[in-house]
Amino acid sequence: MDRRTNTLLTVTDWITRASSWLILALLLSCSSQQPQGLVNAMKSNSNCPLDSVQVRSVFNYMQYFSNGTEISLAILVGDSTAFGGFRRHNDSLILVDNRDGVFEIGSVTKTVTATMLAKLVRDGIVDLNTPIKTFLPIALKQSSLNGKEVTLLHLANHTSGLPKEPDNVSTDWATPGSPYRSYDETKLYDYLSRRMTLQSTPGEKREYSNLGGGLLGHLLTLITGKSYEDLLLESVCEPLGMHGTFVALDSGRTQHLVLGRDPEGNVVPNWELNVLAGGGGIKSTAADMAKYIRAHMTDTTYYLLTQQPTFKYTEHNTAGLGWAWYTNGSKKFVDATGGTGGYSCCVIFERSTRTGIVLLTNVSAFLASKGEYITKLCRELYDSIPSNAGRK
């Protein structure tokens, strides 16, 4: 191939990438979608755990979503858990029992990955301050900056300095499908050994990284010699009885899947994160996530370890392992959000009041991000729980 042909390919590749980012920028910068007519067709609230104010909140936000949209909700107060399901059907809001419906949880997966790391720490298998280069079969292009090595802790609390995404993964986020499906170990190692440069000194700045979360999950597979899903089932799902939580879809698991939808309401393929599954590859249910959150509110072993402060990055925010604290006056809770091409979710809980909320939806992250709809709805619902509701 001569130099002129090579230059042409380089320019073509640049244009393709630039176009992809332009599409994404347009999607995320558009003004909030206008609400569409919606009728409250819930025949009875007897099976709904929400009060009239909370129902109104759900109704208000569902106006921005398409027909076929579902919300699966769990509210935890003390030792009690209540479930509520809502669907927009023929421009009517109806009650459904979808507590066992399967949704992608996106980046909430990172909290599960951090929980599995915490278990390995508690069991004495690894130390949080061990450099990641210790576990990799390749030499990193850059493993340190200003004399500081990237450690397991840095990956778990997003202070590693790693870029948000590897630059050799598809960047056409706006196109339906799974941008990570073909991103395998070979491509990851090629990136880490030949292309990756740190954006900041490890441990000095918190910059959210999907790459860091995915890499942490991969490192756990190298440390244990188990697949990410096997480690998930062994460390978290089986002990907690979370039978509807997994990574890979099959015919049996698909039966309970709530189909993901794009911003226009069209059904989209599920995301497969391959080697980066630890950053966002888990599917779960409201029933299972309620068990997961309850463990974080009550367990005193490795679930509690994930919530120990490791890095304060704003006046009101402190990072743990996977989780982040929000503190403002009397308010102090832990939360996490997640989103993929067809789903978005949010979870919030507080150990001291033993209250929590799980909100799973098949609202595309590309739609939810325009108005922060899911995050705002989850916060409204959580704030409406009396602060002393779960105290003994």
Range with lowest mean pLDDT among 8-22, 71-85, 331-345? 8-22
Residue 272, pLDDT above cutoff 60:
yes
With bands split at pLDDT 50, 70 and 90, how would you rate the model's confidence at 321?
Answer: very high
- Residue 109 clears pLDDT 60, i.e. is over it: yes
Residues 11-51: tens digit of each pLDDT: 334 333 333 333 333 333 334 455 666 777 775 556 677 88
* Position 206, amino acid: R
| Closest alpha carbon to 289 in 119, 62, 76 | 76
Residue 148 CB neighbours (<10 A):
16
Residue 244: pLDDT above 80? yes
Its domain, for residue 190, covers 103-383
Alpha-carbon gap, residue 299 to 321, rounded angstroms? 15
Residue 26 lies in a domain: no
At 342 the pLDDT is: 95
CA distance 44 to 368: 28
Q: Is the pLDDT of residue 6 over 90?
A: no
Indicate the burial class of 349 (C-beta count within 10 angstroms; 0-12, 13-18, 19 or more). Answer: buried
The larger pLDDT score, comparing residue 390 to residue 235, is at 235
What's the predicted TM-score (pTM) here? 0.88
Confidence label for 173 from pLDDT (cuts 50, 70 and 90): low
- More confident call, 270 vs 41: 270
182 token code pair: 């073909």
pLDDT score of 123 more than 80 = yes
36 located within any domain: no
Structurally, the chain folds into a number of domains equal to: 1
Q: Distances from the Cα of 307 to the Cαs of 45, 107, 228, in angstroms? A: 36, 17, 22
Closest CA to 69 of 357, 375, 344: 344
Q: Look at 171-175, 239-243, 297-301, 351-355 and tell me which has the smallest mean pLDDT.
A: 171-175
Asked whether residue 304 is assigned to any structural domain, the reply reads yes
For residue 39, the SS3 value is: strand
* % of residues, the chain, pLDDT over 90: 77
Whether residue 303 lies inside any domain: the answer is yes
**CA–CA separation, 228 and 220 (whole Å):** 7
Burial class (CB in 10 A: 0-12, 13-18, 19+), 86: buried
- Provide the pLDDT for residue 172: 61
Residue 130 lies in a domain: yes
pLDDT of 134 > 90? The answer is yes
pLDDT digits (tens, 9 = 90+) for 51-64: 888 989 999 999 99
Q: List, as one string, the DSSP characters of 60-104.
A: HHHTTS-TT-EEEEEEEETTEEEEEEEEEETTEEEE---TT-BEE
pLDDT in tens, 212-230: 999 999 999 999 999 999 9
**Choice between 356 and 173, residue whose per-residue pLDDT is larger:** 356
Domain of residue 107, CATH code: 3.40.710.10
The per-residue pLDDT for range 252-266, each reduced to its tens digit, is 899 999 999 999 999
373-385: pLDDT as tens digits: 999 999 999 999 9
Mean pLDDT estimate for the chain: 88
pLDDT at 181: 87
* Tens-digit pLDDT profile for residues 194-210: 999 999 999 999 999 99
pLDDT of residue 330: 82
